[in-house]
């Protein structure tokens, strides 16, 4: 099979909130709040035992948000998140096994890169939208600028340490299709079940950064 076009699946969404679920009910509430705030995609990380069930529940209960999986570390997890209903999946890095599994999958896969050699491996495997992680620690703004020449055909989704202020700088880069970050789902709002605050943060982000 060939690579599913991640830019088509993300459909112009510029902000992909990264969220680690504590429970299925919380996940549905978070996705609902983000959607009400105008966000059209969510990355649910596979970092808790409820993550697969959370992805399935969001796909069922909030069908107008694109639900994806994050922290996909091997091909078995990629198959599991597809089975759960994810329409895209991302990894913090990439392996030859995942680059092949992503080509065999019916969902859009975004390998993670942090070096030129990793970009070249992902390009050779057919990928055009790559996660750039961890963005802030590796000075990704400078990398994005340097990579515009040699990797003109590639678009990136920088993630890692980006907040509302830095997001603006990233989204100005012509080779940035979208970006990821956890600032729309702060730990205290999750702990308090403050879905209104998450909706407000989403609304503000869409107003200042643009949804699409
Ligand atoms: O691992 C996930 C990413 O690092 C997003 O989280 P962050 O925006 O808090 O860095
Ligand atoms: C870093 C990230 O978003 C991931 O765990 O896939």
First-residue to last-residue Cα distance in the chain: 29
Of 118, 131, 199, 204, which is the active-site residue? 131
Task: Catalogue all structural domains in the chain, each as residue range(s) with its CATH number.
Answer: 6-209 (3.20.20.70)
For ligand 2, atom 5, which residue shows the shortest CA distance? 71
Question: What ipTM does this complex have?
Answer: 0.92
Count the residues in the chain: 212
pLDDT at position 73, please?
98
pLDDT band at 12 (very low <50, low <70, confident <90, very high): confident
Determine contact, residues 120/153, Cβ cutoff 8 Å.
Answer: no
Q: Determine the residue of 19, 42, 45 to mutate for testing ligand 2's pocket, defined as the one with the most ligand atoms within 8 A of the Cβ atom.
A: 45
pTM above 0.90, yes or no: yes
Model confidence over 135-192: pLDDT tens digits? 999 999 999 999 999 999 999 999 999 999 999 999 999 999 999 999 999 999 999 9
Ligand nearest to the CA of 114: 2
pLDDT at position 8, please?
83
Please check the confidence at residue 212 and state whether its pLDDT lies above 60.
Answer: no
Would you call 166 helix, strand, or coil by DSSP? helix
Ligand nearest to the CA of 135: 1
Other CB atoms within 10 A of residue 205 CB: 23
Model confidence over 26-52: pLDDT tens digits? 999 999 999 999 999 999 999 999 999
Q: Distance between CA 105 and CA 164 in Å, rounded?
A: 33
Q: Determine the residue of 71, 92, 160 to mutate for testing ligand 1's pocket, defined as the one with the most ligand atoms within 8 A of the Cβ atom.
A: 160
């Amino acid at each position: 099979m060939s690579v599913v076009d991640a830019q088509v699946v993300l459909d112009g969404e510029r902000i992909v909130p990264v969220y680690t679920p504590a429970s299925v009910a919380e996940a549905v509430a978070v996705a609902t709040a983000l959607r009400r705030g105008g966000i059209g995609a969510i990355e649910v990380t596979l970092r808790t035992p409820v993550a697969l069930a959370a992805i399935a529940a969001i796909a069922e209960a909030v069908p107008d948000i694109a639900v994806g999986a994050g922290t996909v570390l091997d091909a078995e997890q990629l198959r599991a998140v597809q089975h759960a209903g994810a329409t895209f999946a991302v990894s913090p890095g990439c392996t030859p096994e995942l680059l092949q599994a992503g080509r065999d999958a019916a969902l859009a896969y975004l390998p993670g890169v942090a070096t030129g050699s990793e970009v070249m491996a992902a390009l050779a495997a057919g990928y055009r939208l790559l996660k750039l992680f961890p963005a802030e620690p590796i000075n990704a703004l400078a990398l994005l600028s340097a990579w515009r020449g040699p990797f003109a055909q590639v678009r990136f989704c920088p993630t890692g340490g980006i907040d509302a202020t830095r997001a603006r700088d990233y989204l100005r880069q012509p080779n940035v299709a979208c970006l990821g970050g956890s600032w729309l789902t702060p730990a205290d709002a999750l702990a308090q079940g403050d879905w209104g605050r998450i909706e407000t943060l989403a609304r503000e982000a869409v107003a200042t950064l643009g949804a699409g």
